[in-house]
């Protein structure tokens, strides 16, 4: 899809996944718990997909469950990992998170913590969006029930120092949940986690497939009634055809990862380098080197994000924005605020495997004209 | 907070208008002078310091006006 520059929201379906989808519906429709042929066949497809996804994530197959979205996987992980056996516990419990976690993690953390008995402790980030591992480690105390740190940030692409935080968490006896939603297929995944969250939409799988991996031996209690599917952790049978397509997309994506990521790195470097020379008064945000290959974010002084998104859409480009005017709450992105970055006129460009050199070339041609026109309209200084 | 040499009332205005007003009216004070922006938009608390960083002015901090509106002080540096 030409001009689509919002892969960090969702990627178009991988052709390899599309190729197996119809057959997966033909063979994977039955209840995987049933013992007759069609049920066993569905179960086999599900087991194979689980093996494949687990291997890529660095997990065992019996540690992985599929959910209906990455958001659900994050909610399930944050609410379930290390959760006390009884909901009536009087124990004081804090959850430690980075200030730039995905809102799915932050909202679930706020739901998990009873404000009368604990706090959601937010570890601040520097101007590049990175936590200080020493500060994160220092926030872990005997009353910390769970820590959450993303592998890399979804809005600005900054990679977090997960490995050293994982060491500190292990030493403190705190389970660490790692949101790897943007990282799978884009970078080497960190190890040392107690739980890992991923989302097939971000590796060009179909929408509606999330993944939660929980290490064996980690205490886990789902926030909803347990049934017989997905090790009792996710209610209801998974969407097996979509899971099969997600696993197929993942395998194809890992096979081509080196080439795609190298191409993205060149294109994103170009955008990071050229936008500030083509457009005056622009701030490129995110870490200059410790970052995902496919995301670049910048803020354009004196413009509102909604006008930019709309004007670029008219010019044939799909991008997202962390500016307040583009959010339902009219609050600016908590990620940009935590970084102290300019929040208005914000644009996130994220490349999919289908993005071409020509897309980026055209974007860099159109953007300066769009900005000049919009700045004229608002009478920018 | 440092006494203001010039005040800009941006109450009720959404981002990026308070920053545009600040950029236009910074020249109303001499270099070294202080301009105060009254702004109730939630983005102003991040965007006014960010504007100062980008444009090379000194952000002095925020205070609250008697009616509860945040007031942001900037020293013109160039």
Confidence of residue A90 (pLDDT cuts 50, 70, 90): low
Q: Does residue A224 register a pLDDT over 50?
A: yes
Note the pLDDT of residue A87. 45
* A285 Rama class: left (phi>0) / alpha (psi -120 to 50) / beta: beta
Torsion of CA A294, A296, A297, A298, to 10 degrees: -160
Contacting B residues, span 36-55, partner chain A, CB-CB under 8 Å: 41-43, 45-47, 49-51, 54-55
Encode pLDDT of A184-210 as tens digits. Answer: 999 999 999 999 999 999 999 999 999
Nearest CA in chain B to A324: B43
Q: Is the pLDDT of residue A88 over 60?
A: no
Q: What is the mean pLDDT of residues A327-339?
A: 90
Pair A11, A253: CB distance under 8 Å: no
| pTM (predicted TM-score) | 0.96
Residue A206 near residue A20 (C-beta atoms within 8 A):
no
Strands (E) located in chain B? 6-9, 34-38, 58-64, 70-75
B residues 2..21 contacting A (CB < 8 A): 14-16, 19-20
Higher-pLDDT residue of A381 and A132 is: A132
**Residue A284 contacts B where some CB pair is shorter than 8 Å:** no
Closest to A342 measured CA to CA, from B75, B12, B28, B22: B22
Q: Report residue A243's pLDDT band, with 50, 70 and 90 as the boundaries.
A: very high
Q: Given an 8 Å threshold on Cβ–Cβ distance, is A324 in contact with B15? A: yes
Alpha-carbon gap, residue A296 to A288, rounded angstroms = 10
What's the mean pLDDT when you consider all of chain A? Answer: 95
Give A89's pLDDT tier (boundaries 50, 70, 90): low
Inter-CA distances, A18 with A48, A91, A155, A250, B73, Å: 18, 49, 28, 12, 56
Cα–Cα nearest to A281, from B3, B16, B59, B5: B16
The low-confidence residues of chain B, meaning pLDDT below 50, are none
Structure tokens at A103: 């809102």
């Amino acid at each position: 899809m030409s001009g689509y520059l919002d892969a960090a929201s969702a990627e178009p379906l991988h052709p390899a996944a599309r190729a197996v989808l119809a057959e997966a519906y033909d063979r994977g429709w039955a209840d995987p718990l049933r013992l007759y042929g069609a049920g066993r066949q569905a179960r086999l497809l599900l087991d194979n997909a689980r093996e494949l996804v687990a291997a890529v994530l660095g997990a065992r197959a019996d540690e992985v469950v599929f959910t209906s979205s990455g958001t659900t996987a994050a909610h399930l992980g944050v609410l379930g990992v290390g959760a006390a056996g009884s909901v009536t516990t009087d124990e004081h419990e804090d959850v430690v998170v980075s200030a730039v976690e995905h809102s799915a993690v932050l909202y679930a953390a706020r739901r998990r913590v009873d404000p009368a008995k604990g706090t959601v402790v937010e570890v601040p980030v520097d101007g590049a969006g990175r936590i200080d591992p020493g500060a994160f480690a220092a926030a872990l105390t005997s009353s910390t029930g769970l820590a959450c740190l993303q592998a890399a940030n979804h809005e600005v692409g900054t990679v977090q120092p997960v490995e050293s935080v994982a060491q500190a968490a292990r030493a403190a006896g705190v389970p660490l949940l790692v949101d790897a939603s943007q990282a799978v297929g884009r970078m080497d995944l960190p190890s040392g986690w107690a739980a890992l969250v991923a989302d097939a939409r971000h590796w060009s799988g179909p929408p509606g497939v999330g993944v939660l991996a929980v290490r064996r031996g980690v205490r886990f209690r789902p926030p909803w009634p347990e049934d017989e599917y997905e090790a009792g952790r996710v209610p209801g049978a998974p969407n097996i055809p979509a899971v099969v397509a997600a696993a197929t997309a993942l395998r194809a994506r890992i096979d081509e990862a080196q080439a795609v990521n190298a191409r993205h790195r060149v294109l994103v470097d170009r955008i990071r380098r050229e936008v500030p020379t083509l457009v005056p008064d622009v701030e490129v945000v995110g870490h200059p080197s410790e970052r995902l290959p496919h995301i670049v974010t910048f803020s354009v002084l004196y413009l509102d994000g909604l006008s930019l998104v709309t004007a670029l859409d008219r010019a044939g480009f799909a991008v997202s924005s962390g500016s307040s005017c583009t959010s339902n709450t009219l609050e600016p992105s908590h990620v940009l605020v935590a970084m102290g970055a300019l929040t208005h006129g914000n644009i996130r460009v994220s490349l999919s495997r289908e993005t071409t050199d020509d897309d980026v070339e055209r974007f860099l041609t159109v953007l300066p004209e769009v900005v000049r026109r919009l700045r004229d309209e608002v009478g920018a200084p | 907070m440092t006494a203001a040499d010039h005040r800009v009332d941006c109450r009720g205005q959404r981002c990026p208008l308070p920053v545009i007003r600040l950029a236009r009216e910074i020249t109303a004070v001499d270099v070294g002078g202080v301009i105060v922006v009254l702004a109730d938009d939630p983005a102003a608390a991040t965007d006014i310091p960010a504007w100062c960083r980008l444009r090379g002015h000194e952000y002095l901090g925020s205070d609250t006006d008697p009616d509860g509106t945040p007031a942001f002080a900037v020293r013109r540096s160039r």
